Copies of this chain bind each other. A is one copy, B any other.
Amino acid sequence: MDRSRLEAFSDGVFAVAITLLALDLTVAGPTGHGSLTDQLHEKWPAFLAYLISFFMIGIVWVNHHALVRSIIKVDRTLLFLNLVLLLFVVLIPFATATVADYFSEDDWDTQVAMMLYGGVFLGMSAGFGAIFEWTLHGRRVYQPLPPERHWAARARFVGGGLVYVVAILVALFSAIASFALIALVAVYYIVERTPVYPGPGDAGSDQPVLLACYPDE
C-alpha cells in the first residue's frame, strides 16, 4: 500500500478537526445575551483553548508529516494505528469546546473538563507513540535508527506523554494550573523539534535520482 492516500486521508481529518475548533467560538447573538464586548470578554477561555488546540493539532500534523514520509511501505497495522491517532485528534474539538464552556465556572466540573482535555492529548500522544514504535521494527523506514538509540527515542515520547499525565493529576487540584501546564507544552513543542528520521531527499540521503518522481517528494 502506498503512503499517499494515508497522507491524504490524515491531512483531511487534521484539516477538518482544526477548522471545526472555531465552531465553538460563536457568540449567542444580539437578543438578551449582554453586549458583544462582554460576551467576547467572557469567552477568553474559549479563545485560549482554541489557540492551544489549534497549535497542538498543527504540531501533531507537522510531526505526523515528518514521520510518515520516512516510511517505505504502509501496512494494515499502520493504517489502524493511524486510525487510533486520528480517533483522538477528532475528539479535540469536543474536548476544547467542553473546556471553553466550563472554564469560567471554577468548580469540580471545570476540573473534570480539564482532565478530559488532558486525556484527549494523552491519547493522541499514545497513538503517535504507537506509530513511532511500529517504525522501530523490521525494515519499515528509509534510514532506521540503530537499536542502541531506540530507548533514548522512546524516552522522549514517554516523557511527552508523562506531561499530560501530570496535567491530568494537577487538574484534580487546580484547573487553571493544568491549563497553564498544557499551554506550556504547546509553546515547548513549537520551539523544540521532535527528532525524526531523515527521509529520502534529505541531506545525507543516498536515494537515487529517480525517487524524485515519487509523488510526495
Q: Is the CB of A25 within 8 A of B112?
A: no
Assembled-state Cα–Cα distance A5/B15 (Å) = 11
- Contact check: which of B18, B61, B213 meets A213 at CB < 8 Å? B213
Q: How large is the interface on A (under 10, 10 to 19, 20 to 34, 35 or more residues)?
A: 35 or more
Chain A residues packing against B (C-beta within 8 Å): 1-2, 4-5, 7-9, 11-23, 25-27, 29-30, 35-37, 40, 51, 54-55, 58, 61-62, 65-66, 69, 76, 79-80, 83, 86-87, 90-91, 93-94, 97-98, 101-102, 104-105, 108-109, 112-113, 116, 190, 193, 199, 201, 209-210, 212-217
Q: Is the CB of A37 within 8 A of B69?
A: no
Number of chain copies forming the complex: 4
Q: Is the CB of A201 within 8 A of B19?
A: no
